[in-house]
Amino acid sequence: MKTKTKKKKKSWLARNGVTLILVGILLIGAGLIAYPSFADWWNSFHQSRAVASYVEAVTDMNAEEYQEIIDAAKNYNKKLTKKGVRWTPTKKFLKRYEKRLNINGTGIMGYINIPKINVQLPIYHGIDESVLQVAIGHIEGSSLPVGGKGSHCIVSGHRGLPSARLFTDLDKLVEKDTFTLTVLNYTLTYEVDQIRIVEPTDLSDLQIVKGKDYCTLVTCTPYGINTHRLLVRGHRIANANGEAMVTADALVIEPAYIAPFIAVPVLTVLLTIMFITTGIRIRRKRRKEMAE
């Protein structure tokens, strides 16, 4: 009895082995199609939670704590105004930097909102790869995102990651578009006034300019090649009362749309092979039954 059962199992696997392999490949292909969209949704979900957690932490602060933190950040910027952006900050400098605006210990100093491309992302201290894979990083040594004359805040983000949009659509921005930086309960609005594509070593457009309040968004370009840097600079604008105001050219293909163009033809071929193989097997079986 055991021998017969074993033979039946081997016989079934022998008959359906090819089909099982093709079905497995089909499932893998379907996973490739679904992954970018699911991963982007998953990262967006966690980014939203990070922003919500930050807002909650700000809400729990008292007036004294708030004022102490904002004053320390503004003093930090004033010192940079005199010395300029610190492109090679010392360990001592970085230690002080990491304490500024880090109100809940997660490294989030605020969040950016770009209505034109429907992006809201947390901004973390530094541009370590662990940060840039999931969010936006503030470049150490540049002005903190609290504004002020003679400040230039620089934030950086990746493009084209299969797991997150981040700054993928940044090149859709044009002059006069706006974006906001929200730090603590203070929102700064910037209007795009300059867009540049430069070599990675060209830092001339990232310097602090006397009397100006700038913020520059940095990402890699061209899309998927990343040999240059796209710099989208904005100058701070305000409403009629002079207070911070909330504002609720290359073709870019969303990562979620890239996989289907690759996977769909492969899946079509696999399905065709599977149907042909199954059809041949069924015809052979029928012929054999008729011959018997």
Q: Where are the beta strands (DSSP E) in 70-185?
A: 108-114, 119-125, 136-138, 151-156, 178-183
Q: How confident is the model at residue 244 (pLDDT cuts 50, 70, 90)?
A: very low
> In the chain, pLDDT over 90 holds for what percent of residues?
50
* pLDDT higher than threshold 70 for residue 155: yes
Task: Provide the residue ranges of all domains of the chain, joining segments of one domain with +.
Answer: 1-60+255-292, 63-252
Q: What pLDDT band is residue 258 in, cutting at 50, 70 and 90?
A: very low
- 184-215, pLDDT tens digit by residue? 988 999 999 999 999 999 999 999 999 999 99
The half-sphere exposure of 199 on its side-chain side, counting CA atoms within 13 A, is 3
* Token pair listed for 238: 């305000």
Third-level CATH fold of 63-252: Sortase; Chain: A; (2.40.260)
What are the distances in angstroms from CA 44 to CA 114, 119, 164? Answer: 14, 9, 7
Residue 53 contacts by C-beta under 8 Å, 6 or more apart in sequence? Answer: 104, 106, 108
pLDDT tens, position by position, 5-17: 554 445 566 666 6
pLDDT of amino acid 248: 32
Helix crossing, 2-59 with 255-291: angle to 10°?
160
User: Is the model's pLDDT at 272 over the cut of 70?
Assistant: no
Q: Is it the case that residue 47 has pLDDT exceeding 90?
A: no
Average pLDDT over the chain, rounded to an integer: 80
> Whole-angstrom Cα distance, residue 207 to residue 152?
7
d(CA 260, CA 62): 50
- Categorize the per-residue pLDDT at 285 as very low, low, confident or very high, splitting at 50, 70 and 90: low
User: How many residues are there in the chain?
Assistant: 292
Q: Choose between 263 and 138: higher pLDDT.
A: 138
Whether residue 26 is predicted with pLDDT greater than 80 in this model: the reply is no
Buried b (16+ CB within 10 A) or exposed e, 115-140: eebebebbbbbbbeeebbebbbbbbb
For range 220-224, the mean pLDDT: 89
How far apart are alpha carbons 214 and 270 in whole angstroms?
54
